[in-house]
Each structure stands twice: as structure tokens, then as C-alpha cells.
């Protein structure tokens, strides 16, 4: 009998934001395949004997997606119940969709277990609501880390600018200068508030705020590093008043 592969979201990093189901599957599974994104607090709770880090190979190189896919199938075919643990929600920029397709194509039983995505939770943990009746009636989730082999940007920043809603950029620390420029070029007010939330819900969470014009300098001065989300829009400007009133 083959085992089942559970594609499980681990949430933004606070172990109390794991779902009850994720916690149960972590306890009951035979093997947990993970990378670094779930964060130390969650990973340290998993017995070493069943953890397999597929984020990095010896030598610091990344394990390729095809190796991860093959490993999931191999373990399940050997009868193991496998948790493929992914930061946040498995289907938000986590390649969970591709992994599901691979499992389905190989006839491996699988189940998707949603998680609390950092796209919403990291801003929320920093007192930033991604929607607000007076400031944003839509929110877009965007990758800031585009495939460098793609000939042109797959993200239509101009169209995003036109929505007038909140824009949350994941994997967007490094390319902050590029997309803030694209948004300004698309006519977004340079005074639009922008917040960077680093290590949302984790020890050492930090928030740095500025505007579309200043946020690159703010990032550099604060030394903001991944994992962090960028929040662009009026909702990112409520923060200081709220903190002052706390
Ligand atoms: N599936 C994940 C996202 C994977 S992409 C999810 O739903 O959250 C990885 C990106 O997620 C990081 O580059 C960062 O932008 C974001 N991220 C993950 N955890 C975070 C955290 N605790 N705080 C801030 N950003 C986080």
C-alpha cells in the first residue's frame, strides 16, 4: 500500500499559527520534507529522525524541484505517509501546485492542507490590514522574484497600479528598487505608503515604513532581509497612528 503525501502549509512561522490539522499530520506522519521557510520554532518541534531538509544540499546548492518531486513519490511508494511542509499556504508562491500535479501524474494519493499565508498574516501581525473600507477594496499578491530566464516581466505593474488596491509583494526585498520604480512610472503617487514586514509573527519581527519614494533607503538603513513582505497602499500608512494610540 502506498502512503499519502500531504502538502501542508505551516503558516508564517509562529507555531501557534499552525492549523490543528497540520499539527496532527506532523505528529502522525512518517517523514517530513521541508525547507527553511517554516522557520526554526516549527522545525525544532519535529523529531530529527523524521525530518528531511530538501531546501539545501551539502555544498549549499538548492535541491532541484525534480529531486524533491521524485523523493516524495519514492517515499510514498515505500508506504510512508509524508508531510511536504511548506511555509505559509502551500499554494501561494510555494510551487505546491506543481508538486500536486506531479503526484497526481504518478498516481500517488495526496491531500492539500491549507495554511495561513504570510501574504496576509505578516501584515496583520504588524497591525496592517490588507483591506480596509476607506483605503483598499482589493488586494493583489505578487512575486517580486521573477524568473530571470523569462524574457519580459510576467507581472503587469501598470495594471496593478490601476487597481488602486493594496499590493503585497512576496520575495520582494532584493528587487524593491525595480518594482517601486515601475509603480511610480505607472503613475502611482510617490507619497503612497509602503511597509516592509520582516519575520512576521516570529521572534525578531520588524516593520519599516516609508513611501514609494523613500522605501529603498528605509530598507537599506534598517537592513531588512528576507523573509519579508512589502505592502504598498494606504493601509500601510495607518500603522504609525495605530501604534501611537496603543
Ligand atoms: N507559501 C508562502 C510563500 C512562499 S514565497 C506563504 O503563503 O506565505 C516566500 C516568501 O514568503 C518570502 O520571500 C516572504 O516574502 C514571504 N514570507 C514567508 N514567511 C514570512 C514571514 N514570516 N514574514 C514575512 N514574510 C514571509
Strands 193-198 and 228-232, by their bridges, are: antiparallel
Share of the chain above pLDDT 90, in %: 87
Ligand 1 binding residues, C-beta < 6 A: 12-13, 37, 86-89, 92-94, 117-119, 122, 170-171, 197, 199-202, 226-229
* Structure confidence at residue 213 (pLDDT): 97
Determine which helix (DSSP H) or strand (DSSP E) holds 217, and give its type and residue range: helix 215-222
With the C-alpha atoms ordered 205, 136, 119, 81, is the resulting torsion angle positive or negative? positive
Pick the residue whose CA is nearest to atom 19 on ligand 1. 12
Average pLDDT of the chain, as a whole number: 94
Q: Over the stretch 209-241, which tens digit does the pLDDT of each residue have?
A: 999 999 999 999 999 999 999 999 999 999 778
pLDDT over threshold 90, residue 146 = no
Pick the residue whose CA is nearest to atom 2 on ligand 1. 88
Task: Give the Cα separation of 65 and 84 in Å (integer).
Answer: 13
Share of the chain above pLDDT 70, in %: 95
* Structure confidence at residue 150 (pLDDT): 67
pLDDT over threshold 70, residue 93 = yes
8 A C-beta contact, residue 29 and residue 84: no
Domain 5-113, what architecture?
A: 3-Layer(aba) Sandwich (3.40)
Superfamily of domain 118-244: Tetrapyrrole methylase, C-terminal domain (3.30.950.10)
Question: Catalytic residue at 35?
Answer: yes
Rounded to two decimals, what is the model's pTM? 0.95
Q: Over the stretch 154-198, which tens digit does the pLDDT of each residue have?
A: 899 999 999 999 999 999 999 999 999 999 999 999 999 999 999
For the chain, the domains span: 5-113, 118-244
* Structure confidence at residue 147 (pLDDT): 62
Question: Catalytic residue at 27?
Answer: no
Strands ordered across the beta sheet of 139-143 = 139-143, 166-170, 228-232, 193-198, 206-211
Taking the centre of ligand 1 as the mean of its atom positions, its distance from the CA of residue 1, in whole angstroms, is 35
Q: Over the stretch 11-68, which tens digit does the pLDDT of each residue have?
A: 999 999 999 999 999 999 999 999 999 999 999 999 999 999 998 766 667 889 999 9
**Are the folds of 5-113 and 118-244 the same?**
no
Amino acid at each position: 500500500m502506498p502512503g499519502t503525501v500531504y502538502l501542508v502549509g505551516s503558516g508564517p512561522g509562529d507555531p501557534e499559527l499552525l492549523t490543528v490539522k497540520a499539527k496532527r499530520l506532523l505528529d502522525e506522519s512518517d517523514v517530513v520534507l521541508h525547507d527553511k521557510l517554516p522557520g526554526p520554532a516549527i522545525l525544532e518541534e519535529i523529531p530529527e529522525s523524521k525530518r528531511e531538509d530538501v531546501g539545501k544540499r551539502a555544498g549549499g546548492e538548492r535541491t532541484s524541484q525534480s529531486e524533491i518531486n521524485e523523493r516524495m513519490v519514492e517515499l510514498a511508494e515505500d508506504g510512508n505517509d509524508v508531510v511536504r511542509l511548506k511555509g505559509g499556504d502551500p499554494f501561494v508562491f510555494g510551487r505546491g501546485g506543481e508538486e500536486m500535479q506531479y503526484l497526481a501524474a504518478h498516481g500517488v494519493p495526496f491531500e492539500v492542507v491549507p495554511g495561513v499565508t504570510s501574504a496576509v498574516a505578516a501584515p496583520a501581525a504588524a497591525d496592517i490590514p490588507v483591506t480596509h473600507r476607506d483605503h483598499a477594496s482589493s488586494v493583489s499578491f505578487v512575486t517580486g522574484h521573477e524568473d530571470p530566464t523569462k524574457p519580459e516581466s510576467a507581472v503587469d505593474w501598470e495594471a496593478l497600479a490601476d487597481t488602486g488596491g493594496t499590493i503585497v509583494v512576496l520575495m520582494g526585498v532584493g528587487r524593491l528598487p525595480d518594482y517601486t520604480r515601475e509603480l511610480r512610472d505607472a503613475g502611482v503617487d510617490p507619497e503612497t505608503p509602503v511597509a516592509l514586514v520582516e519575520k512576521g509573527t516570529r521572534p525578531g519581527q520588524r516593520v519599516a515604513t516609508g513611501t514609494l519614494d523613500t522605501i529603498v533607503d528605509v530598507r537599506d538603513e534598517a537592513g531588512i532581509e528576507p523573509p519579508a513582505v512589502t505592502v504598498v497602499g494606504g493601509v500601510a500608512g495607518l500603522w504609525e497612528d495605530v501604534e501611537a494610540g496603543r
